[in-house]
Structure 1
């Protein structure tokens, strides 16, 4: 796909203003998923996300849309969390995009997290498209939402798209607005490949799978790439995109987002925000993200002391997927050997403990959380 027809965008909003529902609609409207596979919260693949009705991880998806001008566009959507505990996920996702859909609930108006996320998007110089959602609600007040957009966020309300993601109203207008207003990616003038790692996860068959956005050059299987942070050179085994499930592709071109698996075995080799480049003529690193400082600390100990190594490996895999999480070994007289862990907030702490129990079958004791001043 030519670079002029690629649009990379994310969806930002306060909690429960309808981000994930709108992304489900966009997937459905572009034919990325059929009616049969349609389920609510399609992008929230973790059980925890479905139960709590919140988004924890950022998910990239590639959609193809034939616009009214008759051309076919490739739209790469990165769904982001709304909770303040996961704002780091949001800033990582935004650095892979050129535009953002800002969703405002017609009944609630502009809220705290809306303002925080808009500031993040403006710092990344993104084009912001306002969408006023839930206009089908009986107590929706569109005029008030427009007024707040202008007064609190200084965003012109005339461009706002009116929609109801639940009822499927205005989905087409949202897609047209993305095609019209979001700028296409522009290649950097680097001598060789430049790709930004914005997320990664551990797959027991393929090792570490990294999600990337290609800023310059192209990536295909069989190439050697160098990770600037760890200074290691690895061979690419396969590349692909998500439509929500991962599928293999021959090549990821300039401006596209997708995943890459290489022979990376240890989670610590991959640093989120790292730049991948060509080992023969390396380019300079892309601006990454600022390191995030944990706010809440709690000790996590295995109930059975023989599980210590298993807990250590599980924490390393969680950290790979969530770089705001931090842990170091510690021991206590009463509980034996364990780890002191740092989190962004109490919700973050709860989610990590729950993921240890569910995904890794760990029996753990957690000490009372404390805040370090």
Structure 2
């Protein structure tokens, strides 16, 4: 397959959640004819079960589409379908680094939303050609002129060049191919220069080792050649190269400007790093490519296997998952209650849920996760500054001079009828309104500064429910501010359970403790003795619930006669229960750890 470089186009589809990226990709794939109608299924690029169940894209996926232009030339169009959710914006930035252009999708009934703006800034950072596309023009509620005004005003693009399509019905989709050829520049790069290829993704195949996804910027790559990874300086011999056409399709060589994959029997996971540069071992390129900036995790949680002997399996699973999800960060951790595990950093709560589900499904692990927390900055009385994300590392309050927590700048776009409800939810989560403006006659953009710890704790779910799903939410981290932080501990039967500890704002501590104790009371099974569940700050108990004991009626056979006989038996039973409580241990089920994370509102 020898396509000239000037006939290659690399582009990505970016948009807010649910604006139709995956559906448009489906239509383009169908039109190109690389898959038969019999094998076709909706959201064909969303290959993970979890993506299909949730109806969202989590991983960027690449596909190479052959196309014959109106000028009769043969073109190869490399399309990358990207996620829309803010937690996976790292995937989007990596996809854009491999492209020369992007189609920006806008829903004809919803207009420009928070992630639309965030994505256009990402595309501008990479100097890409941006082509606006108005999708869902078949909807009865489509307002095309209104959306064109938004594209002019909010995005600063020329709305006259916008393509009108309906990805669902297929109207106007053929024009997307022509626009890719006409408006997106071909890749640059010398095919005869030393090989320089950027690794933008990879995944583990149990039979072939690590499959590396590359974008070749200079030179070319073919089987039998010896390649070197610049960061680890390890050398391998290439077994197979190819392009993605739903399935992997081997070719004899991939050249400058192309996107494809490479297999070289790589077994060492540590050798392959996202953002690394590949080159020929004998004829190296002068300098490594500028990789991707390291992901900046905002939510931290510890993961422990339910059975402690599964720790090696968890280690291996995290290594393999890290190949496919470069934004995952983890380090070793241990807990008195749960044994050895890992402290993991995530880009948001949805990212945390997805990683947990992938570990449980793809690697067959049962996991317990601790309460998610953020990074706090603690200034001690001796002047040293300590950054902690784990409640178990929280120092003695007497040694703390001040604590600071991360804040975010949140941008919430909603129809104006929900303004009051959004204000209320933000105030409940310690938010401060900084600005609001009307984007159109009935849509409003509200800006808040919010503590990141509050956003981690169910803010997004509450926002979606009070705005009936119309609210779109985007945020950026805006530095640290001083706060009044306390460590909230939970005691079950008098014993502290370190995996349930949380760092919370003092004003929220009593509510959070009461709520968590109630949840634990419902989850912990009853025993033959009473179990006290307590929330405490230091030595001060601030909430308590009791799991009542099973009781045996020991006075059943004492009918009539003296009351002192009954009392004697009851006293005897009471002593037995007391002794049982001293030696009895309480098993906390996995569901109890998870229930503490939900606020119950």
Q: Is TM-score (shorter-chain normalized) higher than 0.5?
A: yes
Q: Offset at 1:18?
A: 0.1
Equivalence map 1:38-49=2 (5 Å): 38-49=40-51
Q: Deviations over 1:241-278 (max 9, x none)?
A: 11111121111111111110112112121110111112
Instruction: Classify 1:190/1:296 alpha carbon distance in 2 versus 1 (closer, same or farther; 3 Å).
Output: farther
**Are the counterparts in 2 of residues 221 and 236 from structure 1 also a CA contact under 8 Å?**
yes
Q: Distance in 2 between matches of 1:145 and 1:296?
A: 35
| Aligned twin of 1:323 | 326
User: Aligned to 1:97, what secondary structure does the other structure show?
Assistant: coil
Query: Counterparts of 1:188 and 1:304 in 2: how far apart (Å)?
Result: 54
Q: Is the partner of 2:112 in helix, strand or coil?
A: coil
Q: Distance in 2 between matches of 1:328 and 1:290?
A: 19
Query: Aligned equivalents of 1:357 and 1:146: distance in 2?
Result: 45
Aligned position for 1:71: 73
Aligned-partner Cα distance in 2 for 1:4–1:189: 12
Q: Supply the distance in 2 between the matched residues of 1:47 and 1:162 (Cα, whole angstroms).
A: 31
Structure 1 equivalent of residue 418 of structure 2: none
Q: 1:301, 1:188 → 2: CA distance?
A: 49
Q: Which of 87, 90, 95 is 2:89 aligned to?
A: 87
Q: Encode CA deviations 1:307-337: one digit per residue, 9 max, x unaligned.
A: 0001100011111111110111111101111
**Pairing of 1:1-373 with structure 2 (within 5 A):** 1-187=3-189, 191-283=193-285, 284-373=287-376
Count of matched residue positions in the alignment of Structure 1 and Structure 2: 373
Measure how far apart 1:191 and its partner are. 4.0
TM-score, normalised via structure 1 length: 0.98
- Whole-angstrom distance in 2 between the partners of 1:95 and 1:186: 14
Q: Which runs of 4+ in 1 moved over 3 A?
A: 188-191
| Aligned-residue CA RMSD (Å) | 1.1
Aligned residue for 1:153, secondary structure, equals coil
Cα offsets for 1:317-368 (capped at 9, x unmatched): 1111111101111111011111111100000000000001100000111111
The structure-2 alpha-carbon separation of the partners of 1:247 and 1:189, relative to structure 1 and needing over 3 Å to count, comes to: closer
Q: Alignment partner of 1:172: what SS?
A: helix
Higher relative contact order (CA 8 A, sep 6+): 1
Deviation at 1:189, TM superposition (A): 9.2
TM-score in terms of structure 2 length: 0.61
SS of residue matched to 2:140: coil
Greater C-alpha Rg: 2
In structure 2, how many angstroms separate the alpha carbons of the residues matched to 1:228 and 1:261? 17
**Structure 1: which 5+ runs fail to align?**
none
1:91-114: CA deviation from partner (whole Å, max 9, x where unpaired): 101010001010000000000001
CA contact (8 A) 1:268 1:320 kept: no
Q: Is the 8 A contact 1:187 1:254 kept in 2?
A: yes
Offset at residue 188 of structure 1 (A): 5.4
Shift of residue 288, structure 1, vs aligned partner: 1.3
Q: CA deviation at 1:281?
A: 2.7
Q: Distance in 1 between matches of 2:58 and 2:160?
A: 32
Shift, 1:184, TM fit: 0.3
Cα distance between partner residues in 1 of 2:313 and 2:16: 37
The answer (yes or no) to whether the contact 2:226–2:282 under 8 Å persists in 1 is no
**2-side partners of 1:365 and 1:159: how far apart?**
51
Name stretches of at least 5 consecutive residues in structure 2 with no aligned partner: 377-601
Quote the offset at 1:190 in angstroms: 8.8
